[in-house]
């Protein structure tokens, strides 16, 4: 089977279930595992490099308002790779190519009827795990996918058990999915906070992320602020966290924890469990006064 993955999380899953040798095409963002970087790139970004978070937000808003795609699909490369299966998404046009663009490209190439298109659209942690099983079935790795999901569930259960033994109230946690302007989390992120032993004071599980104000962030009185700007690694998140502290945007006294958002928070793949485990360790060390 020849597989083109247009979603970094799907690429991670395909390699994790043993289908890495079947993957022939990926996006420019497919960087895990390292071997994925050696596959042919069929999707790139239309966004200029080096923009600030504020400039990225402006660019995305303007492109969406004009109805323009944020990603470019190399139809020629797609045709040359002759895929049997294309994996894409219908979750967020800002994150990756959506299924409509891919279907149009395949139809234009005259191969739409010959290529299977699998779409993932997870909004919750449970749906993320279901997407692993879906991809496993699509590439004939049902047993490997089931074993991977079972292992992830075991790790999440271990965190639940550890959190249940903690005394006292839960820390109040605010997660920033973007920093300029600030955005509150949706999708699976509030669930990650709750599993890790915190109370997610802003954002709603299963919903879309929404723009907010710094006044609202401070008014939520978080004990911990997780800086998780979508698409940034830990170094990038750290730089933004330091800038927020220097600007006085964050509540005084709150623990500020930058994370590898690209790997463990924004991508709906197996490493979300790594993010839960890391945050659980952070929250275990945060003292919370009764009634706080």
pLDDT tens column, 73-118: 887 888 889 899 999 876 544 454 555 555 555 554 445 567 888 8
Which of 41-55, 155-169, 212-226 is predicted least confidently? Answer: 41-55
pTM of the model: 0.90
CATH code of the domain in which 258 resides: 3.40.50.1980
Tokens 């994790």 locate to 16
| 166: CB partners within 8 A, 6+ apart | 197, 284
Number of domains observed in the structure of the chain = 2
Q: What number is the average pLDDT over the span 142-147?
A: 98
* Torsion, Cα of 97, 141, 150, 5 (10° steps): -10
Same domain, 107 and 46: yes
Strand-pairing partners, residue 182, are 179
Within a domain: residue 178? yes
Domain extent for 252: 169-283
Helices 272-283 and 142-164 meet at what angle, rounded to 10?
A: 10
Within a domain: residue 290? no
State the pLDDT at residue 108: 43
The residue that leads in pLDDT, 125 or 121, is: 125
Same domain, 103 and 210: no
Tokens 């879309």 locate to 208
Which candidate, 240, 190, 192, places its Cα nearest to that of 220?
A: 190
């Amino acid at each position: 089977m020849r597989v083109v993955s247009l979603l970094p999380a799907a690429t991670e899953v395909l390699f994790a279930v043993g289908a890495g040798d079947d993957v022939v095409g990926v996006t420019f963002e497919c960087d895990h595992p390292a071997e994925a970087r050696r596959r042919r790139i069929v999707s790139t970004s239309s966004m200029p490099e080096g923009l600030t978070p504020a400039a990225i937000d402006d660019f995305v808003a303007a492109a969406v308002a004009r109805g323009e795609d944020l990603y470019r699909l190399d139809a020629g490369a797609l045709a040359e790779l002759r895929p049997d299966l294309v994996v894409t998404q219908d979750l967020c046009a800002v994150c990756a190519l959506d299924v409509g663009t891919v279907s149009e490209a395949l139809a234009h190439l005259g191969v739409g009827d010959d290529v299977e298109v699998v779409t993932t659209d997870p909004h919750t942690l449970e749906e993320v795990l279901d997407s692993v099983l879906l991809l496993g079935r699509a590439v004939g790795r049902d047993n490997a996918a089931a074993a991977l999901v079972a292992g992830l569930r075991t790790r999440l259960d271990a965190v639940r058990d550890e959190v249940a033994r903690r005394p006292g109230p839960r820390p109040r946690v605010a997660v920033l999915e973007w920093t300029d302007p600030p955005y509150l989390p949706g999708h699976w992120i509030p669930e990650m906070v709750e599993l890790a032993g915190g109370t997610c004071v802003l954002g709603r599980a299963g919903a879309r992320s929404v723009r907010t104000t710094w006044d609202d962030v401070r008014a939520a009185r978080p004990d911990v602020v997780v800086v998780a700007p979508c698409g940034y690694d830990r170094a990038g998140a750290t730089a933004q966290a330091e800038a927020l502290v220097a600007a006085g945007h964050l509540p005084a006294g709150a623990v500020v924890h930058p994370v590898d958002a690209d790997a463990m928070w924004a991508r709906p793949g197996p490493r979300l469990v790594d993010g839960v485990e890391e945050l659980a360790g952070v929250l275990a060390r945060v003292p919370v006064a009764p009634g706080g």
